[in-house]
């Protein structure tokens, strides 16, 4: 299953439409600001929430909790080490492999590729393709991508301060 995300520049203040291979809208990503962080919602075409991504501030680094039907299914956080930045996905056996800063990476579960995010070349503005191996993983994989983008936006905001 391929999901297409088109954005000029990802901003948590925008709403993004996610389309399928037939160019039909299938998800909408909307964000909101809370008094203690941000929350992003993913809605299906019936305007039902299928996932939420909520910022959790504990300690020195931000984390984003992913929930489905009020059940916490994963937590995405950025770990800095001397060689590179790593993104951890707690609660799932998923790992990020590739170049996260360039939005060219795979989400893996051991040897299985769960999903792969790639830039879509020859398109107007920034466009991305999230190719998900199994349809039942599509919403959580999309939520992981949004959580990573949120962590990147947090880091950029700190640099601008």
Q: What is the DSSP string of 104-133?
A: EEEEEETTEEEEEEEE-SSSSSEEEEEEES
When mean pLDDT is compared across 48-62, 76-90, 111-125, the lowest value belongs to: 76-90
- Other residues' Cβ atoms within 10 Å of the Cβ of residue 8: 10
Confidence of residue 13 (pLDDT cuts 50, 70, 90): low
**Prediction pTM value:** 0.89
Query: Residue 78: its pLDDT value, please?
Result: 84
Question: What is residue 93's predicted lDDT score, i.e. its pLDDT?
Answer: 85
Q: Taken in order 133, 52, 75, 151, is the CA torsion positive or negative?
A: positive
State the residue range of the domain holding 117. Answer: 2-160
Q: Return the number of other C-beta atoms located less than 10 Å from residue 44's C-beta.
A: 14
Q: Is the pLDDT of residue 43 over 90?
A: yes
| Confidence check: pLDDT of 69 > 80 | yes
The number of distinct structural domains making up the chain is: 1
Query: For position 77, which CATH number holds?
Result: 2.40.160.200
Q: Tokens 């070349």, residue? A: 121
pLDDT-based confidence at residue 18 (cuts at 50, 70, 90): very high
Do residues 28 and 19 lie in contact, with contact meaning Cβ atoms separated by under 8 Å?
no
Token pair for residue 77? 């956080």
Closest CA to 38 of 19, 11, 59, 60: 11
For residue 137, pLDDT over 80 is answered with: yes
| pLDDT higher at 3 or 31 | 3
């Amino acid at each position: 299953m391929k999901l297409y995300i088109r954005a000029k520049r990802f901003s948590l203040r925008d709403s993004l439409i996610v389309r399928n291979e037939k160019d039909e809208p299938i998800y909408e990503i909307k964000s909101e600001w809370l008094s203690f962080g941000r929350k992003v919602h993913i809605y299906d075409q019936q305007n039902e929430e299928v996932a939420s991504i909520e910022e959790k501030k504990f300690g020195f680094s931000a984390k984003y909790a992913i929930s489905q039907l009020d059940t916490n299914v994963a937590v995405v956080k950025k770990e800095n080490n001397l060689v590179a930045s790593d993104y951890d996905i707690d609660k799932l056996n998923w790992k990020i492999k590739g170049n996260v800063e360039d939005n060219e990476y795979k989400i893996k579960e051991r040897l299985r590729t769960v999903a792969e995010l790639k830039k879509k070349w020859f398109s107007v503005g920034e466009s991305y393709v999230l190719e998900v191996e199994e349809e039942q993983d599509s919403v959580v994989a999309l939520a992981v991508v949004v959580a990573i983008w949120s962590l990147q936006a947090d880091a950029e905001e700190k640099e601008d301060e």
